[in-house]
Amino acid sequence: MKRGTIIVGAGIIGLATAECLLRLGFKVLLLEQGKVGQESSWAGGGILSPLMPWHYPEAVTRLTQYSANLFSEWASALHTSTGIDPEYSQCGMIVLPPYDIKTAIHWCSKNDIHINQLKLPRFIPSNRNGTIKQCDTMQQTILLPDIAQIRTPRLLQALRQRVIQLGGEIIENCTVQRLIVKRNSVSTLETSSGQFAADHYVIAAGAWSAKILGQYAFGLTIKPICGQMLLFKFEHPPIPAILTQSSTYLVPRKDGHLLIGSTSEDKGFNKRITVSARKQLLKSALAILPQLYKMPVIRQWSGLRPASPLNIPTIGQHPDLTNLYINSGHFRYGVTMAPASAEILTNTMIGAPQPFDVNPYQY
Protein backbone atom coordinates (compact mmCIF):
# COMPACT_ATOMS: atom_id res chain seq x y z
CA MET A 1 0.00 0.00 0.00
CA LYS A 2 1.35 3.45 -0.94
CA ARG A 3 1.01 6.59 1.17
CA GLY A 4 -2.37 7.80 2.36
CA THR A 5 -4.40 10.56 0.72
CA ILE A 6 -7.44 12.37 2.03
CA ILE A 7 -9.81 13.75 -0.61
CA VAL A 8 -12.23 16.46 0.49
CA GLY A 9 -15.54 16.22 -1.40
CA ALA A 10 -17.23 13.16 -2.90
CA GLY A 11 -18.72 14.59 -6.09
CA ILE A 12 -17.72 13.30 -9.51
CA ILE A 13 -14.26 14.88 -9.26
CA GLY A 14 -13.45 13.54 -5.77
CA LEU A 15 -14.75 10.06 -6.64
CA ALA A 16 -12.95 9.88 -10.00
CA THR A 17 -9.71 11.03 -8.34
CA ALA A 18 -10.14 8.45 -5.58
CA GLU A 19 -10.75 5.67 -8.10
CA CYS A 20 -7.66 6.63 -10.10
CA LEU A 21 -5.41 6.76 -7.00
CA LEU A 22 -6.80 3.48 -5.64
CA ARG A 23 -6.04 1.72 -8.93
CA LEU A 24 -2.40 2.75 -8.41
CA GLY A 25 -2.36 1.28 -4.91
CA PHE A 26 -2.81 4.49 -2.90
CA LYS A 27 -4.70 4.38 0.39
CA VAL A 28 -7.62 6.83 0.08
CA LEU A 29 -10.08 8.39 2.52
CA LEU A 30 -12.91 10.57 1.16
CA LEU A 31 -14.52 13.12 3.50
CA GLU A 32 -17.97 14.37 2.42
CA GLN A 33 -20.02 17.02 4.21
CA GLY A 34 -23.34 15.53 3.04
CA LYS A 35 -24.03 12.34 1.14
CA VAL A 36 -21.86 11.07 -1.71
CA GLY A 37 -22.59 12.67 -5.11
CA GLN A 38 -25.64 14.71 -4.15
CA GLU A 39 -24.49 18.21 -5.12
CA SER A 40 -23.57 19.66 -8.51
CA SER A 41 -22.59 16.28 -9.94
CA TRP A 42 -26.01 14.78 -9.27
CA ALA A 43 -27.70 17.78 -10.86
CA GLY A 44 -25.70 17.54 -14.08
CA GLY A 45 -27.35 16.74 -17.40
CA GLY A 46 -24.58 14.30 -18.36
CA ILE A 47 -23.81 15.77 -21.79
CA LEU A 48 -20.21 14.79 -22.50
CA SER A 49 -19.24 17.96 -24.34
CA PRO A 50 -19.46 21.72 -24.05
CA LEU A 51 -22.75 22.98 -25.49
CA MET A 52 -21.35 25.23 -28.22
CA PRO A 53 -17.80 23.88 -28.07
CA TRP A 54 -16.39 26.57 -30.41
CA HIS A 55 -17.09 29.22 -27.74
CA TYR A 56 -14.37 27.96 -25.39
CA PRO A 57 -10.58 28.39 -25.13
CA GLU A 58 -8.14 25.72 -26.27
CA ALA A 59 -7.54 24.58 -22.65
CA VAL A 60 -11.22 23.60 -22.35
CA THR A 61 -11.32 21.95 -25.77
CA ARG A 62 -8.26 19.84 -25.08
CA LEU A 63 -9.41 18.68 -21.65
CA THR A 64 -13.01 17.94 -22.67
CA GLN A 65 -12.02 16.10 -25.83
CA TYR A 66 -9.37 13.98 -24.15
CA SER A 67 -11.76 13.20 -21.30
CA ALA A 68 -14.80 12.48 -23.50
CA ASN A 69 -12.67 9.94 -25.38
CA LEU A 70 -11.96 8.10 -22.12
CA PHE A 71 -15.64 7.77 -21.21
CA SER A 72 -16.80 4.78 -23.20
CA GLU A 73 -14.15 2.49 -21.72
CA TRP A 74 -14.40 4.02 -18.24
CA ALA A 75 -18.19 3.61 -18.10
CA SER A 76 -17.99 0.08 -19.41
CA ALA A 77 -15.31 -0.91 -16.85
CA LEU A 78 -17.42 0.58 -14.04
CA HIS A 79 -20.49 -1.28 -15.31
CA THR A 80 -18.61 -4.58 -15.43
CA SER A 81 -17.03 -4.23 -12.00
CA THR A 82 -20.08 -2.90 -10.12
CA GLY A 83 -23.09 -4.16 -12.07
CA ILE A 84 -24.41 -0.55 -12.18
CA ASP A 85 -24.95 0.68 -15.75
CA PRO A 86 -24.21 4.43 -16.08
CA GLU A 87 -25.99 4.35 -19.47
CA TYR A 88 -23.23 5.79 -21.62
CA SER A 89 -24.68 6.44 -25.06
CA GLN A 90 -23.24 8.09 -28.13
CA CYS A 91 -26.52 9.72 -29.10
CA GLY A 92 -25.14 12.81 -30.88
CA MET A 93 -26.05 16.46 -30.33
CA ILE A 94 -28.11 18.62 -32.68
CA VAL A 95 -27.30 22.33 -32.54
CA LEU A 96 -30.10 24.68 -33.57
CA PRO A 97 -29.57 28.29 -34.70
CA PRO A 98 -28.85 31.05 -33.89
CA TYR A 99 -25.08 30.53 -33.93
CA ASP A 100 -22.23 31.27 -36.29
CA ILE A 101 -22.14 28.30 -38.65
CA LYS A 102 -18.81 29.30 -40.20
CA THR A 103 -17.09 29.34 -36.80
CA ALA A 104 -18.67 25.98 -35.96
CA ILE A 105 -17.55 24.33 -39.20
CA HIS A 106 -14.05 25.77 -38.90
CA TRP A 107 -13.74 24.60 -35.27
CA CYS A 108 -14.96 21.08 -36.11
CA SER A 109 -12.56 20.73 -39.00
CA LYS A 110 -9.61 22.06 -36.91
CA ASN A 111 -10.40 19.66 -34.07
CA ASP A 112 -11.26 16.67 -36.23
CA ILE A 113 -14.87 16.54 -35.04
CA HIS A 114 -17.49 15.00 -37.31
CA ILE A 115 -20.26 17.35 -38.33
CA ASN A 116 -23.39 16.77 -40.44
CA GLN A 117 -25.46 19.66 -41.72
CA LEU A 118 -29.17 18.90 -41.38
CA LYS A 119 -32.31 20.29 -42.91
CA LEU A 120 -34.89 19.89 -40.20
CA PRO A 121 -38.48 21.08 -40.35
CA ARG A 122 -38.94 24.09 -38.17
CA PHE A 123 -41.90 24.28 -35.86
CA ILE A 124 -43.38 27.14 -34.00
CA PRO A 125 -44.71 26.48 -30.50
CA SER A 126 -48.19 25.05 -30.25
CA ASN A 127 -50.91 27.62 -29.69
CA ARG A 128 -53.67 27.48 -27.11
CA ASN A 129 -55.52 24.79 -29.13
CA GLY A 130 -52.43 22.63 -29.13
CA THR A 131 -51.88 23.00 -32.89
CA ILE A 132 -48.33 22.74 -34.10
CA LYS A 133 -47.49 24.72 -37.21
CA GLN A 134 -44.65 23.83 -39.52
CA CYS A 135 -42.82 26.76 -41.11
CA ASP A 136 -39.69 26.99 -43.20
CA THR A 137 -36.57 24.85 -43.18
CA MET A 138 -33.66 25.38 -40.87
CA GLN A 139 -30.60 26.09 -42.92
CA GLN A 140 -28.13 26.08 -40.11
CA THR A 141 -28.87 23.04 -38.05
CA ILE A 142 -25.96 20.69 -37.45
CA LEU A 143 -25.55 17.27 -35.89
CA LEU A 144 -22.37 16.43 -34.00
CA PRO A 145 -22.81 12.64 -34.16
CA ASP A 146 -19.95 11.62 -31.83
CA ILE A 147 -21.18 13.47 -28.75
CA ALA A 148 -22.32 11.16 -25.97
CA GLN A 149 -24.29 11.36 -22.74
CA ILE A 150 -24.15 9.57 -19.39
CA ARG A 151 -26.71 9.25 -16.62
CA THR A 152 -24.86 11.07 -13.87
CA PRO A 153 -26.70 9.72 -10.77
CA ARG A 154 -25.92 6.19 -11.98
CA LEU A 155 -22.31 7.04 -12.78
CA LEU A 156 -21.95 8.38 -9.23
CA GLN A 157 -23.46 5.22 -7.71
CA ALA A 158 -21.12 3.05 -9.77
CA LEU A 159 -18.10 5.16 -8.78
CA ARG A 160 -19.01 5.03 -5.11
CA GLN A 161 -19.26 1.26 -5.26
CA ARG A 162 -15.99 0.95 -7.19
CA VAL A 163 -14.13 3.13 -4.69
CA ILE A 164 -15.31 0.88 -1.85
CA GLN A 165 -14.48 -2.30 -3.84
CA LEU A 166 -10.94 -1.01 -4.33
CA GLY A 167 -10.54 -0.50 -0.58
CA GLY A 168 -11.29 3.24 -0.39
CA GLU A 169 -12.96 4.60 2.74
CA ILE A 170 -15.75 7.18 2.63
CA ILE A 171 -17.00 9.19 5.61
CA GLU A 172 -20.27 11.05 4.98
CA ASN A 173 -21.75 13.90 7.04
CA CYS A 174 -18.20 15.02 7.81
CA THR A 175 -17.55 18.71 7.11
CA VAL A 176 -13.95 19.81 6.73
CA GLN A 177 -13.75 23.09 8.65
CA ARG A 178 -10.10 24.08 8.56
CA LEU A 179 -6.67 23.12 7.32
CA ILE A 180 -4.03 23.02 10.03
CA VAL A 181 -0.72 23.99 8.49
CA LYS A 182 2.74 23.37 9.93
CA ARG A 183 5.72 24.90 8.15
CA ASN A 184 4.82 24.62 4.45
CA SER A 185 2.50 21.62 4.49
CA VAL A 186 -0.91 20.57 5.79
CA SER A 187 -0.56 18.54 8.99
CA THR A 188 -4.22 17.85 9.80
CA LEU A 189 -7.79 18.56 8.74
CA GLU A 190 -10.15 19.81 11.41
CA THR A 191 -13.65 18.44 10.72
CA SER A 192 -17.07 18.12 12.32
CA SER A 193 -16.10 14.52 13.16
CA GLY A 194 -12.66 15.20 14.63
CA GLN A 195 -9.20 15.53 13.15
CA PHE A 196 -7.81 13.52 10.22
CA ALA A 197 -4.24 13.35 8.99
CA ALA A 198 -2.62 11.90 5.87
CA ASP A 199 0.48 12.29 3.71
CA HIS A 200 -1.39 14.07 0.90
CA TYR A 201 -4.59 16.09 0.71
CA VAL A 202 -6.77 16.81 -2.33
CA ILE A 203 -9.43 19.52 -2.32
CA ALA A 204 -12.22 18.42 -4.67
CA ALA A 205 -15.04 20.25 -2.98
CA GLY A 206 -16.58 21.89 -6.06
CA ALA A 207 -18.14 25.30 -5.39
CA TRP A 208 -16.95 25.14 -1.74
CA SER A 209 -13.26 24.64 -2.54
CA ALA A 210 -12.07 28.24 -2.04
CA LYS A 211 -14.07 28.44 1.20
CA ILE A 212 -12.25 25.40 2.61
CA LEU A 213 -8.85 26.75 1.59
CA GLY A 214 -9.62 29.99 3.45
CA GLN A 215 -6.45 32.08 3.80
CA TYR A 216 -4.61 29.57 1.56
CA ALA A 217 -6.96 30.13 -1.41
CA PHE A 218 -4.49 32.68 -2.80
CA GLY A 219 -6.71 34.17 -5.46
CA LEU A 220 -8.40 30.90 -6.44
CA THR A 221 -11.66 32.34 -7.71
CA ILE A 222 -14.03 29.36 -7.72
CA LYS A 223 -17.56 30.48 -6.91
CA PRO A 224 -21.05 28.91 -7.03
CA ILE A 225 -23.27 29.48 -10.07
CA CYS A 226 -26.70 27.91 -9.66
CA GLY A 227 -28.23 25.86 -12.47
CA GLN A 228 -31.85 24.67 -12.49
CA MET A 229 -33.29 21.82 -14.54
CA LEU A 230 -36.71 20.33 -15.35
CA LEU A 231 -37.69 16.71 -15.91
CA PHE A 232 -40.46 15.29 -18.12
CA LYS A 233 -41.46 11.70 -18.79
CA PHE A 234 -42.52 10.34 -22.19
CA GLU A 235 -43.36 6.74 -23.03
CA HIS A 236 -40.48 6.65 -25.53
CA PRO A 237 -37.68 9.16 -26.10
CA PRO A 238 -39.34 12.06 -27.99
CA ILE A 239 -36.08 13.06 -29.72
CA PRO A 240 -33.24 10.85 -30.96
CA ALA A 241 -30.34 13.07 -29.91
CA ILE A 242 -29.49 15.86 -27.48
CA LEU A 243 -30.93 19.13 -28.82
CA THR A 244 -29.43 22.49 -27.96
CA GLN A 245 -30.28 26.07 -28.79
CA SER A 246 -28.43 28.98 -27.16
CA SER A 247 -28.26 28.12 -23.45
CA THR A 248 -31.17 25.63 -23.53
CA TYR A 249 -30.71 21.91 -24.01
CA LEU A 250 -32.93 18.84 -24.06
CA VAL A 251 -31.44 15.48 -23.08
CA PRO A 252 -33.45 12.33 -23.89
CA ARG A 253 -32.85 9.28 -21.67
CA LYS A 254 -33.53 5.89 -23.16
CA ASP A 255 -36.41 5.18 -20.70
CA GLY A 256 -38.35 8.24 -21.95
CA HIS A 257 -37.22 10.77 -19.34
CA LEU A 258 -36.39 14.14 -20.87
CA LEU A 259 -34.21 16.70 -19.09
CA ILE A 260 -34.45 20.39 -19.85
CA GLY A 261 -31.58 22.62 -18.78
CA SER A 262 -30.50 25.00 -17.55
CA THR A 263 -30.35 28.37 -15.87
CA SER A 264 -27.18 30.17 -14.85
CA GLU A 265 -27.68 32.24 -11.69
CA ASP A 266 -25.11 34.12 -9.66
CA LYS A 267 -26.75 34.09 -6.20
CA GLY A 268 -24.13 32.69 -3.84
CA PHE A 269 -24.76 29.37 -2.11
CA ASN A 270 -28.55 29.75 -2.49
CA LYS A 271 -29.87 26.90 -4.64
CA ARG A 272 -33.61 27.23 -4.03
CA ILE A 273 -35.63 26.29 -7.10
CA THR A 274 -37.86 29.07 -8.43
CA VAL A 275 -41.05 29.56 -10.43
CA SER A 276 -39.33 32.11 -12.67
CA ALA A 277 -36.63 29.59 -13.67
CA ARG A 278 -39.31 27.02 -14.41
CA LYS A 279 -41.15 29.49 -16.66
CA GLN A 280 -37.96 30.53 -18.43
CA LEU A 281 -36.89 26.93 -19.10
CA LEU A 282 -40.39 25.93 -20.24
CA LYS A 283 -40.63 28.83 -22.63
CA SER A 284 -37.33 28.06 -24.35
CA ALA A 285 -37.99 24.30 -24.39
CA LEU A 286 -41.45 24.76 -25.94
CA ALA A 287 -39.92 26.74 -28.77
CA ILE A 288 -37.80 23.69 -29.57
CA LEU A 289 -40.22 20.86 -28.75
CA PRO A 290 -43.90 21.87 -28.85
CA GLN A 291 -45.00 18.40 -27.64
CA LEU A 292 -44.11 19.62 -24.15
CA TYR A 293 -47.20 21.81 -24.16
CA LYS A 294 -49.56 20.70 -21.36
CA MET A 295 -47.18 17.97 -20.20
CA PRO A 296 -46.48 17.96 -16.47
CA VAL A 297 -43.06 18.80 -15.12
CA ILE A 298 -42.34 15.79 -12.94
CA ARG A 299 -39.36 17.28 -11.13
CA GLN A 300 -37.37 20.49 -10.87
CA TRP A 301 -33.94 20.63 -9.24
CA SER A 302 -30.83 22.72 -8.97
CA GLY A 303 -27.10 22.45 -8.39
CA LEU A 304 -24.18 24.77 -7.68
CA ARG A 305 -21.61 24.66 -10.45
CA PRO A 306 -18.04 25.37 -9.34
CA ALA A 307 -17.43 28.38 -11.61
CA SER A 308 -13.94 29.36 -12.77
CA PRO A 309 -12.90 32.09 -15.19
CA LEU A 310 -13.17 30.87 -18.82
CA ASN A 311 -14.38 27.50 -17.51
CA ILE A 312 -10.77 26.38 -16.94
CA PRO A 313 -10.45 24.20 -13.81
CA THR A 314 -7.51 24.14 -11.40
CA ILE A 315 -5.78 20.75 -11.35
CA GLY A 316 -2.45 20.54 -9.58
CA GLN A 317 -0.30 21.23 -6.57
CA HIS A 318 -0.85 24.17 -4.24
CA PRO A 319 1.84 26.82 -4.81
CA ASP A 320 2.89 26.97 -1.12
CA LEU A 321 1.70 23.87 0.69
CA THR A 322 3.68 20.97 -0.70
CA ASN A 323 1.34 18.09 0.20
CA LEU A 324 -1.86 19.85 -0.89
CA TYR A 325 -3.49 19.39 -4.31
CA ILE A 326 -6.55 20.93 -5.95
CA ASN A 327 -8.92 19.35 -8.46
CA SER A 328 -11.75 21.81 -8.74
CA GLY A 329 -13.49 24.63 -10.63
CA HIS A 330 -14.80 22.55 -13.53
CA PHE A 331 -17.82 24.86 -13.84
CA ARG A 332 -20.23 23.73 -16.60
CA TYR A 333 -18.33 20.62 -17.70
CA GLY A 334 -17.11 18.74 -14.65
CA VAL A 335 -18.84 15.50 -15.62
CA THR A 336 -17.18 15.58 -19.04
CA MET A 337 -13.80 16.54 -17.58
CA ALA A 338 -13.81 14.05 -14.68
CA PRO A 339 -11.73 11.08 -15.91
CA ALA A 340 -9.06 13.28 -17.51
CA SER A 341 -8.87 15.58 -14.47
CA ALA A 342 -8.39 12.56 -12.22
CA GLU A 343 -5.64 11.25 -14.51
CA ILE A 344 -3.85 14.62 -14.66
CA LEU A 345 -3.93 15.10 -10.90
CA THR A 346 -2.71 11.56 -10.27
CA ASN A 347 0.15 12.02 -12.77
CA THR A 348 1.10 15.23 -10.93
CA MET A 349 1.13 13.43 -7.58
CA ILE A 350 3.32 10.55 -8.77
CA GLY A 351 5.47 12.59 -11.16
CA ALA A 352 4.31 10.68 -14.26
CA PRO A 353 4.25 12.24 -17.75
CA GLN A 354 1.07 14.07 -18.75
CA PRO A 355 -0.98 13.28 -21.86
CA PHE A 356 -0.69 16.92 -23.08
CA ASP A 357 0.42 20.33 -21.81
CA VAL A 358 -1.34 20.77 -18.46
CA ASN A 359 0.12 24.18 -17.61
CA PRO A 360 -3.20 25.99 -18.22
CA TYR A 361 -4.70 24.10 -15.24
CA GLN A 362 -1.91 24.80 -12.74
CA TYR A 363 -2.82 26.69 -9.60
CA distance 56 to 108: 13
Q: Does 31 bind ligand FAD (CB under 6 A)?
A: yes
Smallest gap from Cβ 136 to ligand FAD, in A, equals 30
The string of DSSP codes covering 285-313 is: HHHH-GGGTTPPP-EEEEEEEEE-GGG--
CB distance 339 to 63 below 8 Å: no
Is residue 201 part of the contact set for ligand FAD (CB under 6 A)? no
Sheet with 116-118, edge to edge strand ranges: 116-118, 141-144, 93-96, 242-245, 248-252, 257-261, 223-233, 299-307
Under 8 Å between Cβ of 25 and 1: yes
Based on the shown chain and the rule CB under 6 A, indicate whether residue 148 belongs to the binding site for ligand FAD: no
Sign of CA dihedral 333, 315, 181, 197: positive
Q: What is the chain's alpha carbon radius of gyration, rounded to the nearest angstrom?
A: 21
- Which string of x and - marks every residue 284-313 that binds ligand FAD (by CB under 6 A)? -------------------x-xx-------
Identity of the residue, 89 or 262, whose beta carbon is nearer to ligand FAD in the bound complex: 262
Query: Is residue 44 part of the contact set for ligand FAD (CB under 6 A)?
Result: yes
CB of 124 to ligand FAD, least distance (A): 27
175 touching ligand FAD, by CB under 6 A: yes
53 interacts with ligand FAD by CB under 6 A: no
Contact yes or no for 86/158 (Cβ under 8 A)? yes
Among 5, 6, 7, 10, binds ligand FAD (CB under 6 A): 10
CB of 137 to ligand FAD, least distance (A): 29
d(CA 290, CA 283): 10
Instruction: For residue 88, state whether it binds ligand FAD (rule: CB under 6 A).
Output: no
Give the residues lining the site for ligand FAD (CB under 6 A). 8-14, 31-34, 39-41, 43-47, 175-176, 204-208, 212, 227, 229, 261-262, 303, 305-306, 328, 330-336
